[in-house]
Amino acid sequence: MGDRTILHSDMNSFYASVEMLHHPEFAGMPLAVGGDPEARHGIVLTANYIAKRKGVKTGMALWQAKQICPEIIFVPPRMDLYLRFSQMAREIYSEYTDKIEPYGIDEAWLDVSASRNLKGSGITIAREISHRIKYELGVTVSIGISWNKIYAKLGSDYKKPDAITEFNRENYKSMIWQLPASDLLYVGRQTRKKLQKLGIRTIGELAESDEAMLESHFGKMGIVLWSFANGWDDDPVCKDGYTAPVKSIGNSTTTPRDLEDDLDVWIIQMALAESVAARLRKHGFKCKTIEITVRDNGLFRFSRQKQLHHPTNITDEIVTAAFQLFKDYYKWEHPIRSLGIRAVDLVLDDIPVQLELFGNQEKQEKLEKMDRTVDEIRRRFGYFSIQRAVMYQDKVLSHLDAGTHTVHPHSYFHG
């Protein structure tokens, strides 16, 4: 059968590229996504290439970025928007293979071995994907091609932006082995320092090192790194299955006034649960866990989680779980200043579910149908066009527009 053909596709300066699409007025200007632009708090999540050329780096504090590049424009992150682009890219990838393994929100491995007879060589497929991402989505990708995942990822990092690099059996020693060992996946700062103490600075030096010596210094990881450096990686590209490409979807708010009783809390939690459930449905997810956060006006803050009996994106089930958590853990020593609800442990909404023996499947289907009807009405006529009856209990609290959402992608948690 011969070698596999693995692609690694990495969307260039992804968050910033998407923002530049939506802000044509910033064309030609340095831009960074991250933190609170008004307060200048937080860090740079990503910057466009104009800002990068001036020294702005991911992970840099906003105030540092401003010092280096005084004309830089900061915009807050909009994870739901980036997720939408990620999913559109995924739809393009799926036309070439069903073996797609996401690595964060902006990167993915593709095993196109079975597509070569129909779609052409790895380089042909990579060029076609690159062209389609650029002209259908308006952003660029860098794609690496190799017979294994590690070298394919090295290829996408090798030249940016908007580039395609192939590492094959003929060129990998001349191209890869000269690269710093720190370019290899899983070689972090501490591992790099340890390797340098052993006189190992390049991937080639790592590949030609004594395997037993590496094992004595790094344990099993030493053998793994030695294998990676030599291109001996047969790890399969795993189909994504039912795992969601984000960690959680949540919403929180500082309330229009302090909350003083359970009804106040129920109104706000209902608004938050509606927004979280709507976002779950929009992106095709269900959650297996609900988390709440509570902060009172005495500055006491806590968060609690509750695992659900089954995955859900139904508003009633989410708010019921959240309110039960609140009742179980809050004792009303002070009025409440802010509340949050987060859907955690996400799965795709077509995951097979074991029906509960004494559950009411018909009721769940009716609730989900009602939720989707509300989604459509609000999409067409605005958030306040349809409200639950409980919202009329308090005009101040019900005026909260919980239509803003926070989405936390995998890439926040995997470097």
The predicted-structure confidence for 60-74, as pLDDT tens digits, reads as follows: 888 899 999 999 999
Residue 405 pLDDT exceeds 50:
no
Cβ-based burial of 14 (10 A; exposed 0-12, middle 13-18, buried ≥19): buried
Residue 414 has pLDDT above 60, yes or no: no
Average pLDDT over residues 218-232: 90
User: The domain at 246-412 falls in which architecture?
Assistant: 2-Layer Sandwich (3.30)
Residue 356's pLDDT band, with cuts at 50, 70 and 90, is: low
More reliable by pLDDT, 352 or 277: 277
The predicted model gives 345-369 an average pLDDT of: 70
* pLDDT tens digit sequence for 259-270: 999 999 999 999
Average pLDDT of the segment spanning 124-148: 96
Residue 359 has pLDDT above 80, yes or no: no
Structure tokens that stand for 79 in this block:
């994870």
Closest to 395 in 3D by CA, of 384, 382, 379, 381: 384
Q: What is the pLDDT of residue 234?
A: 85
For residues 378-406, give the mean pLDDT.
Answer: 73
Average pLDDT over residues 324-347: 91
With bands split at pLDDT 50, 70 and 90, how would you rate the model's confidence at 95? very high
Task: Note the pLDDT of residue 74.
Answer: 92
CATH 3.30.70.270 fits 1-169, yes or no: yes
Band of residue 360 on the pLDDT scale cut at 50, 70, 90: low
The token pair that represents 104 in the structure block: 């964060």
The number of beta carbons lying within 10 Å of the beta carbon of residue 414 is 12
Across the beta sheet with 246-259, the strand order is 301-312, 285-296, 336-348, 246-259, 406-409
Q: Which residues of 395-412 are buried (b: 16+ CB within 10 A; e: fewer)?
A: eebbebebeebbbbbbbb
Asked whether residue 10 is marked as a ligand-binding residue, the answer is yes
Neighbours of 351 (CB within 10 A): 15
Confidence at residue 156, expressed as pLDDT on a 0 to 100 scale? 96
**pLDDT at res. 413:** 32
Q: Rounded to whole angstroms, how far apart are CA atoms 2 and 113?
A: 10
- What is the rounded distance in angstroms from the CA atom of residue 32 to the CA atom of residue 43? 9
Which tokens in the block code for residue 38? Answer: 């008004």
Judge whether 280 and 343 are in contact, CB under 8 Å: yes
Structural fold of domain 177-229: DNA polymerase; domain 1 (1.10.150)
- Higher-scoring residue by pLDDT: 163, 221: 163
Comparing CA positions, the residue from 187, 110, 186 lying closest to residue 152 is: 110
pLDDT at 7 over 50: yes
How large is the average pLDDT for residues 169-180? 95
Name which residue leads in pLDDT, 59 or 159. 159
- C-alpha span between 303 and 308 (Å, rounded): 16
**Helices 79-93 and 262-283: crossing angle, nearest 10°?**
30
Residue type, 144: G
Average pLDDT over residues 352-357: 54
Pairing of strands 406-409, 285-296: unpaired
DSSP 3-state of 283: helix
**Run of H or E residues at 89:** helix 79-93
Would you state the pLDDT for residue 300?
A: 84
Separation CA 119–CA 96 (nearest Å)? 8
- As a whole number, the mean pLDDT across the chain is 86
pLDDT at 309: 86
Active-site option among 107, 166, 274, 317: 107
Domains of the chain by residue range: 1-169, 177-229, 246-412
Annotated catalytic, 356?
Answer: no
Beta strands in 135-266 (DSSP E): 141-146, 164-166, 246-259
Range of lowest pLDDT (5-9, 175-179, 347-351):
347-351
Is residue 138 scored above 90 in pLDDT?
yes
Q: Which of 117-126, 186-195, 210-219, 346-355 has the lowest mean pLDDT?
A: 346-355
Q: What is the pLDDT of residue 249?
A: 87
**What is the end-to-end Cα distance of the chain in Å, rounded?**
34
Q: How high is the pLDDT of residue 402?
A: 60
Which residues, at least 6 apart from 118, have a Cβ–Cβ distance to it below 8 Å? Answer: none
> Is residue 77 within 8 Å of 66, Cβ to Cβ?
no
Q: 97 or 58: which carries more pLDDT confidence?
A: 97
Question: Is 106 known as a binding-site position?
Answer: yes
Q: Which of 294-308, 313-327, 365-379, 380-394 has the highest mean pLDDT?
A: 313-327
Q: What is the DSSP letter of 243?
A: B
**Mean pLDDT for the stretch of residues 323-343:** 93
Alpha carbon distance 43, 63 (integer Å): 9
Greater model confidence, 2 or 234 = 234
φ, ψ of residue 242 in degrees (nearest 5): -105, 10
Tokens of 402: 């919980």
Confidence band of 159 (pLDDT split at 50, 70, 90): very high
Take residue 152 and report the two structure tokens written for it: 């394919």
| CA 62 to chain centroid | 21
